[in-house]
Amino acid sequence: MRVLVVEDFEVLARTIGTGLRREGMAVDVVLDGLDALEHLAVTRYDVVVLDRDLPGVSGDEVCRRLAAEHSETRILMLTAAGAVEERVDGLGLGADDYLPKPFDFAELVARIRALARRSTPPLAPTLAGADLSLDPARRTASRAGRRLDLSPKEFGVLECLLAADGRVVSSEELLERVWDEAADPFTTAVKTTIRRLRAKLGEPPVIETVREGGYRIGGA
């Protein structure tokens, strides 16, 4: 899941970003509306966590532009104003959800995940392929009934491969969906994570490498 956090209070922005990464999300953090629009122009995000009161280009304007483009990116608007009128106004701009500050982090995570499910075609509650099973909501994965102890990146890669339903997924796509903009496009992170994931999945091998293509889940 790829998330953009737009919040001008840097300490809060970085804290949210760090917390969401620990939840296994790929997160980019920006501090103003103009930077947010620049990111949105080149990267597809599942969810934007958008502060309403931003310097320069306001959060309201960012929201309006995304709504006008009929973007599939879902918007969770944050604001210090918690009055009903403010929430209604924010939703009227095109936001998909609204969370007043201060908020409970667990609720923020739950709302982001709920919105992310609406940003893509519906998937089965549990993803499966070969003898693998993965539950995105519970963050659990198993092979042939054996629980897998996966890092957030390993879980994210496996989730992408299973969601592809046999389609070949390129290293570039995995890097975009599981990591964030801080990742070096020439890094070996994907290859290293695939190697570690294969070791944890055990025998027989289930992740196939497609020459000059990427990776896919094959038969067990």
Query: Contact at 8 Å (CB) between 141 and 151?
Result: no
The DSSP result for 152-178, as a single string, is HHHHHHHHHHHHTTT--B-HHHHHHHH
Strand partners of residue 190: none
Tally helices (H) and strands (E) across the chain. 8, 11
pLDDT tens string 122-151: 455 678 888 899 988 788 899 998 999 999
What pTM was computed for the model? Answer: 0.66
What residues does CATH 3.40.50.2300 cover in the chain?
Answer: 2-119
Q: 10-22 vs 105-119: helix axis angle to the nearest 10?
A: 70
Residue in the structure block whose two tokens are 């604001």: 79
What residues does CATH 1.10.10.10 cover in the chain?
Answer: 127-217
pLDDT at position 213 is 82
Q: Which CATH architecture has domain 127-217?
A: Orthogonal Bundle (1.10)
Cα separations in angstroms, 120 against 68, 73, 114, 124, 148? 19, 9, 11, 12, 26
Q: How high is the mean pLDDT of the chain?
A: 86
CATH of domain 2-119: 3.40.50.2300
Q: Is the pLDDT of residue 82 over 70?
A: no
